[in-house]
């Protein structure tokens, strides 16, 4: 008898699902893009109904194509991109649109947190960078700016927690997601810090129950079964964060292993056996043996999104070719970039289209093209954006290495942007470190499916993630390129540091005229 496992991911840009068997074979995959509503310069929202409807459609599509026996589906696990919250009332009805990962509106709440709690105390308790928006500061913003809505909140759920609720009727947050409540969560003791919540006037009962990532938390309800096509009574696992699920699916199960996701964000992480706090770098709980393991990671907020931005706004011809049955639009953009030299003929990009996250935290940061001249064409701009994302990730990696975080082996690259060999070559040369591509995986949904299989006892252990992972196209750094990129990296850092006051001035203009 076959055993199947369902993995679900609520990314910032879309909902993904896959079903695998107990040999790691992908039986089916589905993806549906979300609409991201950006307004007021820093609000970024998604309708939670899209999360649920897109997941239901993705799973139904897989089942329709494969005709799998749903009685042989042994477990379901869900992840999402965080920090992000879906606010619901006692009946589970949504209050306002969901904050998604790109939202940076809660700057006044962050300043309040600094005044009332303080940077050092927040860092000691949570390892969270106080300058970063978190699910806690989102709630603080709601209380200050929409007090009537705040009073209606029964639970503030992560997007995966919302989908898990729709599947099981239970409202909770897994260990990984709970860390994105920032100062509210004691990462070592894995519980909310009631004292800080009281000081801030945030009702602890509005936060969901915290559950280990591997715990079976309920079963698919008859109503959810009707919507998804899965069988009522199928176990559902607490789940994890999208990037961590992707790394698990890529075989990252031991301390020191390093991976980069090039999804909507570019997220670089190193697995740890214990918390290792590094200023301005995130420290979270990892889903593999989540009682004991951690991950340190950095994020470039619009790292992978820069290519979607270019496709949507500057690539009418490429999109026409794709829609006419020709080449993929992203492949055509890559061809333009490949026609240019490393360094993009001295064009440097700060890739912060919706603010900077780690380690250069600034919600007011925006994208910059520096050095643009009459000889530059579209290919230079594409390559420069790719290089800017790599510089941002390298800055995170350097901060980790300087703090003594151990790494081993080549850096594994996965998710959509990693399909670009050019982009992987750029990362390899900027980092001066070998990289490999994770082949034939579906990213976070695959890792979630493994999590479901191990948690329900139908898979023998997390070692299967390593055994099933296939790494291809190892790239070694080209030394002359690395040396050149380090010169550009120095200018990249200088440019960012010297433009801070101008970012504040731009913020004022945006507030006045947009």
Residue range 399-441, pLDDT digits in tens: 999 999 999 999 999 988 999 999 999 999 999 999 999 987 7
Kind of pairing between the strands at 155-157 and 86-88? antiparallel
Q: Which residues contact 107 (CB under 8 A, 6 or more apart)?
A: 42, 133, 363, 364
For 6-41, b/e burial (b = at least 16 CB within 10 A) is bbbbbbbbbbbbbbbbbebebbbbbbbebebeeeeb
Residues in the chain: 514
Neighbours of 67 (CB within 10 A): 7
Cα 390–Cα 391–Cα 395 angle in degrees, nearest 5: 115
Contact 281, 396 (CB under 8 A): yes
Mark the ranges of the chain whose per-residue pLDDT is less than 50: none
Residue 177, pLDDT score:
98
Q: Whose CA is closest to 21, among 59, 67, 74, 77? A: 74
Question: pTM for this structure?
Answer: 0.91
Neighbours of 216 (CB within 10 A): 17
Q: What share of the chain is helix, strand, coil (3-state, %, to 5)?
A: 45, 25, 35
Q: For residues 178 and 285, give the distance between their C-alpha atoms in angstroms, rounded to a whole number.
A: 9
Q: For residues 431 and 418, give the distance between their C-alpha atoms in angstroms, rounded to a whole number.
A: 15
- Residue 44's φ and ψ, nearest 5 degrees, are -140, 115
What is the Cα Rg of the chain in Å?
22
Residue 40, pLDDT score:
85
Q: Which two tokens stand for residue 349?
A: 């990009």
- In DSSP terms, 240 is beta-bridged to 79
**H helix and E strand count, the chain:** 19, 25
Q: For residues 323 and 317, give the distance between their C-alpha atoms in angstroms, rounded to a whole number.
A: 10
Residue 435, pLDDT score:
98
Q: Which two tokens stand for residue 454?
A: 């191990």
Q: For residues 267 and 53, give the distance between their C-alpha atoms in angstroms, rounded to a whole number.
A: 27
Residue 263, pLDDT score:
86
Neighbours of 223 (CB within 10 A): 12
Q: Which residues contact 141 (CB under 8 A, 6 or more apart)?
A: 105, 106, 108, 109
Neighbours of 343 (CB within 10 A): 18
Helix (H) or strand (E) holding 173: strand 172-174
Give the CA count within 13 Å in the CB-facing half-sphere of 281: 26
The end-to-end CA distance of the chain, in Å, is 60
Q: For residues 29 and 8, give the distance between their C-alpha atoms in angstroms, rounded to a whole number.
A: 10
DSSP, residue by residue, 342-366: TTTTT-EEE--BTBB-SSS-BTT--
Contact 250, 441 (CB under 8 A): yes
Residue 12, pLDDT score:
85
Cα 462–Cα 468–Cα 474 angle in degrees, nearest 5: 115
Contact 383, 344 (CB under 8 A): yes
Residue 1, pLDDT score:
79
Q: Whose CA is closest to 471, among 442, 507, 441, 503? A: 441
Sorted by where each starts, the structural domains of the chain and their CATH numbers stand as: 4-250 (3.30.420.40), 305-437+478-509 (3.30.420.40)
**HEC sequence for 197-211:** HHHHCCCHHHCCEEE
Q: Which two tokens stand for residue 133?
A: 């928006």
- Residue 146's φ and ψ, nearest 5 degrees, are -135, 65
Contact 131, 110 (CB under 8 A): yes
């Amino acid at each position: 008898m076959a055993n199947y496992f369902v993995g679900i991911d609520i990314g910032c840009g879309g909902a993904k699902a896959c079903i695998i068997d107990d040999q790691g074979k992908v039986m089916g995959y589905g993806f549906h893009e979300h609409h991201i509503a950006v307004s007021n310069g820093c609000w970024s929202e998604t309708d939670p109904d899209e999360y649920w409807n897109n997941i239901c459609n993705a799973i139904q599509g897989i089942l329709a194509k494969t005709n799998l026996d749903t009685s042989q589906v042994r477990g379901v696990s869900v992840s999402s991109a965080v920090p992000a919250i879906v606010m619901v009332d006692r009946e589970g009805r949504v209050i306002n649109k969901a904050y998604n990962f790109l939202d940076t509106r809660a700057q006044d709440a962050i300043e309040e947190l600094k005044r009332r709690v303080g940077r050092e105390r927040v860092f000691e308790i949570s390892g969270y960078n106080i300058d970063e928006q978190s699910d806690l500061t989102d709630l603080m913003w709601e209380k200050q700016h929409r007090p009537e809505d705040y009073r209606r909140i029964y639970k503030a759920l992560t997007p995966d927690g919302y989908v898990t609720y729709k599947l099981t009727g239970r409202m909770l947050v897994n260990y990984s997601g709970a860390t994105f409540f920032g100062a509210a969560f004691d990462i070592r003791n894995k519980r909310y810090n009631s004292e800080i919540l009281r000081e801030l006037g945030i009702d602890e009962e509005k936060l969901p129950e915290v559950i280990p990532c591997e715990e079976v938390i309920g079963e698919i309800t008859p109503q959810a079964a009707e919507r998804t096509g899965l069988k009522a009574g199928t176990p559902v696992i607490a789940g994890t964060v999208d990037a961590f699920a992707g790394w698990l699916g890529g075989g990252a199960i031991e301390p020191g292993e390093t991976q980069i996701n090039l999804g909507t964000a570019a997220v670089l992480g190193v697995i740890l056996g214990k918390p290792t706090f590094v200023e301005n770098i995130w420290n979270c709980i990892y889903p593999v043996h989540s009682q004991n393991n951690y991950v340190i990671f950095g994020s470039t907020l619009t790292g992978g999104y820069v290519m979607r931005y270019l496709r949507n706004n500057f690539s009418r011809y490429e999109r026409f070719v794709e829609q006419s049955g020709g080449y993929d639009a992203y492949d055509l953009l890559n061809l333009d970039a490949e026609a240019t030299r490393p360094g993009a003929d001295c064009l440097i990009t700060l890739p912060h289209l919706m603010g900077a996250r780690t380690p250069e935290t600034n919600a007011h940061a925006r994208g910059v093209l520096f050095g643009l001249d009459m000889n530059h064409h579209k290919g230079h701009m594409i390559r420069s954006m790719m290089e800017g994302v790599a510089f941002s990730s390298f800055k995170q990696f350097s901060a980790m290495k300087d703090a003594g975080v151990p790494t081993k082996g080549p850096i594994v690259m996965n998710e959509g942007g990693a399909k670009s060999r050019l982009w992987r070559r750029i990362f390899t040369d900027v980092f001066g470190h070998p990289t490999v591509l994770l082949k034939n995986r579906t990213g976070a949904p695959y890792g979630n499916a493994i999590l479901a299989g191990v948690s329900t006892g139908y898979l023998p252990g997390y070692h299967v993630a390593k055994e099933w992972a296939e790494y291809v196209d190892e790239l070694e750094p080209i030394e002359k390129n690395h040396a050149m990129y380090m010169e550009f990296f120095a200018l990249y850092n200088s440019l960012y540091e010297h433009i801070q006051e101008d970012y504040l001035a731009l913020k004022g203009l945006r507030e006045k005229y947009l």
